[in-house]
Amino acid sequence: SQSTAKLYINASDPRVTISRHIYGHFSEHLGRCIYDGFWVGENSSIPNKGRIRLDIVEALKKIKIPNLRWPGGCFADEYHWRDGIGPRKQRPTMINTNWGNVTEDNSFGTHEFLELCDMLGCEPYITGNVGSGTVSEMNNWVEYLNFDGQSPLTTLRKENGRNKPWNVSFWGVGNESWGCGGNMTPEYYVNEYKRYATFAKNYPNARLKKIACGASDGDYNWTDVLMKNVGTRMWGLSLHYYTVPKSWSDKGSATSFDEKEYFTTMKKCLFMDELVTRHGTIMDKYDPDKRVAMVVDEWGIWTNVEPDSNPAFLYQQNSLRDALVAGTTLNIFNNHADRVRMANLAQTVNVLQSLVLTQGNKMLLTPTYHVFDLYKVHQDAKLLPLQLNVPDYQYGDQKMPAVNASASVDSTGAIHISLVNLDAAHTIPVTTTISGSNWHTVEGQVLTAAKFTDINTFDQPGNIRPVPFSHARKEGDQLVANLPPLSVVVLTLK
Ligand code: AHR
């Protein structure tokens, strides 16, 4: 059977831009993402600015985080923004019913979130409350955030320390309205969307990019009903899909699994390609010019929580397998960049497929973080279409393509190719032919480890990290690279 991969890249006529917003992240009031994550205690000795943790900010700036979604998730549809402004001591508390019935003290609210985005240099993506809020509550929030004139709400904003509007642009109209956001049918949600969206106003210099709640997994009917009835009156339509290694009742461990479970996980991860393709085909039917963005604003691997941690806090470790999920999914998004223009990994800190884990004053960068670091070269670069002819990764009588890839050319003319070898045992040589480019040099980095279960720990945070890759070279006009098993490789050609 075939053991080498062939890759053909057409660099002669790049058209589609890979939006940097595909590389977005998500921070919900859930477990230790905000509290004891981004946001530290009042007198914490952990270096912080206004209680925002600086080591996390530095780490996320390094990977050029383009946007951050907040305040949920399911939490968004029970969040009342007015509870999270004004003097902190006077803010009311509430119960976070979705995530462990813990008391939410509202100390992290609108101003704090937007200060965080400012420090990160990223765009905020706020999801408004449709499920248990009101149209006027959402309308008021947008006015508070984005209006530059005189009004009672802008006076209040100024009293709370912010003169200028923030001009928030990404605006979610509810979250998972088919489930925790209100258990609505798509037909019912269409009407709700229209009503809420009508009163979520555009102010001068602050046009909202409204994102409608989209489907879960393969609910193609939801996409059809939304596209048919809302169509281009939304900027984007979301899609949620999680890679669950086993089943929702027993998702599987984050760190202890065998090759069979690894194989199944990667198969489920690759299903994202089918989802994006099929939802995209429905969108094409109503919007052939691809004006509406597909926004995959929740994705990632969802495993059982770490032993002895609060089951409602969704704290999971992050192994080399997570990195392979990230690399593969981002390749899928890049290759569908004509429609997928935004995505958000769930979630940034201490929740699900995190980039960052914290323990007291310690912080570690997960294998997933390093994939975002390696892939940042694709942000806002032009997609180069590619064709792949690859060997299978076989397990028992099952198989899947062993290698996936995407390629782009940046504004300086450098070509970036990201390759993932999912095969657990075999090094795979990849021979690449690139038409329309006169490149001379290649360099790269690789992220790999001995086992798919390998992790970074607080004691050994550098176990898995990118290192220079020396197994790529120019042979005649071709690029030849030997991809180690279980690896993410990013090459730069100049
Ligand atoms: O990311 C965790 C949860 O998953 C979100 O709150 C919800 O939108 C989804 O079901």
Question: ipTM of this predicted complex?
Answer: 0.99
Residues 412 and 465 reside in one and the same domain: yes
Q: Do 196 and 259 fall within a single domain?
A: yes
- Is 15 part of a structural domain of the chain? no
The rounded distance, in Å, linking the Cα atoms of 444 and 419 is: 11
Q: State the distance from the centre of ligand 1 to the C-alpha of 353, rounded, in angstroms.
A: 12
- Indicate the residue type of 94: M
- Give the Cα separation of 161 and 155 in Å (integer): 10
- Based on the fold, state whether residues 403 and 370 are members of the same structural domain: no
In the prediction, which pLDDT does 177 show? Answer: 98
Q: Please check whether residues 49 and 68 belong to one and the same domain.
A: yes
Are the C-beta atoms of 18 and 418 separated by less than 8 Å? no
346 Cβ closer than 6 Å to some ligand 1 atom: yes
Pairing mode of beta strands 398-401, 403-409: unpaired
477-494 residue pLDDT tens: 999 999 999 999 999 999
Residue 360 and residue 415 share a domain: no
Question: What distances in angstroms separate CA 35 from CA 30, 186, 329, 340, one per listed residue?
Answer: 8, 34, 28, 31
> Mean pLDDT across the stretch 54-66?
98
Q: What is the CATH number of the domain that holds 71?
A: 3.20.20.80
Q: Is residue 36 part of a domain?
A: yes
Domain co-membership, 194 together with 111: yes
Per residue in 290-317, pLDDT (tens digit) is 999 999 999 999 999 999 999 999 999 9
What pLDDT, on a 0 to 100 scale, did the predictor assign at position 362? Answer: 97
Residue 449 located in a structural domain: yes
335 alpha carbon – ligand 1 mean position (Å): 25
In the chain, the percentage of residues whose pLDDT exceeds 70 is 100
Is residue 35 one of the residues assigned to a domain?
Answer: yes
Same domain, 75 and 180: yes
Q: Which atom of ligand 1 is nearest to the CA of 28?
A: 6
The reply to whether 122 falls in a domain is yes
pLDDT of residue 13: 86
Give the span between the Cα atoms of 417 and 386, in whole angstroms: 10
> Is there an atom of ligand 1 within 6 Å of 74 CB?
yes
| 375 plus 392 within the same structural domain | no
Using a 6 Å cutoff on CB, does residue 72 contact ligand 1? yes
pLDDT band at 2 (very low <50, low <70, confident <90, very high): low
Output the pLDDT for position 283.
98
The rounded mean pLDDT for the chain is 97
Closest C-alpha to 332, from 466, 399, 422: 422
Distance 488 CA to ligand 1 centre (A): 27
On the question of pLDDT at 251 being above 70, the answer is yes
Bridge-based pairing state of the strands 209-216 and 236-243? parallel
Token pair in block for residue 171: 């605006």
Same domain, yes or no: 423 and 358: no
Q: Is residue 317 part of a domain?
A: yes
Task: Say yes or no: 369 and 421 in one domain.
Answer: no
**Do 243 and 130 lie in a common domain?**
yes
Evaluate: CB of 73 within 6 angstroms of ligand 1: yes
Of 417, 415, 413, 407, nearest to 446 by C-alpha is: 417
**Ligand 1 centre distance from Cα of residue 74 (Å):** 6
Query: Is residue 1 scored above 80 in pLDDT?
Result: no
Which residue has 């409602």 as its token pair? 312
Q: For 129, phi and psi rounded to 5 degrees? A: -90, 110
Q: 461: number of CA atoms within 13 Å, CB side?
A: 13
Query: Which residue's alpha carbon is nearest to atom 5 within ligand 1?
Result: 73
Nearest CA to ligand 1 atom 3: 73
Dihedral sign for Cα 126, 130, 132, 133, please: positive
Domain boundary among 346, 380, 414: 380
Q: Nearest to residue 69, comparing CAs of 182, 190, 169, 180?
A: 169
Cβ of residue 18 lying under 6 Å from some atom of ligand 1: no
Which residues are catalytic, by number? 176, 298
**Long-range contacts, 175-178 (Cβ 8 Å, 24+):** 175/72, 175/73, 175/74, 175/76, 175/77, 175/127, 175/130, 175/131, 175/213, 176/73, 176/74, 176/77, 176/213, 176/216, 176/240, 177/77, 177/130, 177/131, 177/213, 178/213, 178/215, 178/216, 178/219, 178/222
pLDDT tens digits along 404-429: 999 999 999 999 999 999 999 999 99
Probe ligand 1: pick from 98, 176, 239, 296, max atoms within 8 Å of CB?
176
Final residue of a structural domain among 365, 380, 395: 380
Closest ligand 1 atom, CA of 175?
8
Residues 341 and 411 in one domain: no
Ligand 1, atom 4, lies closest to the CA of 73
Ligand 1, atom 9: closest residue by C-alpha: 73
- Determine the residue of 216, 240, 347 to mutate for testing ligand 1's pocket, defined as the one with the most ligand atoms within 8 A of the Cβ atom: 240
Q: Kindly give the distance from the C-alpha atom of residue 199 to the centroid of ligand 1, in angstroms, as a whole number.
A: 26
**Residue 415 belongs to a domain with what CATH number?**
2.60.40.1180
Cβ–Cβ < 8 Å for 490, 370? no
- Residue 37 domain-assigned (yes or no): yes
C-alpha of residue 37 to centroid of ligand 1, in Å: 18
CA of 75 to the centre of ligand 1 (A): 8
> Which of the listed residues 380, 400, 427 is the one where a domain comes to its end?
380
Token couple for 312:
């409602």
Any atom of ligand 1 within 6 Å of the Cβ of 214: no
Comparing C-alpha atoms, which of 473, 474, 374 is closest to residue 418? 374
Of the residues 68, 104, 243, 298, which should be mutated to test ligand 1's pocket, given the most ligand atoms within 8 Å of the CB?
Answer: 298
- Report if residue 212 sits inside a domain: yes
Q: pLDDT per residue over 209-243, tens digit each?
A: 999 999 999 999 999 999 999 999 999 999 999 99
Instruction: Using the predicted structure, report yes or no on whether residue 330 has a pLDDT greater than 90.
Output: yes
Which domain covers residue 434, as residue numbers? 5-10+384-493
Please tell me the total count of domains within the chain: 2
Residue 66 has pLDDT above 70, yes or no: yes
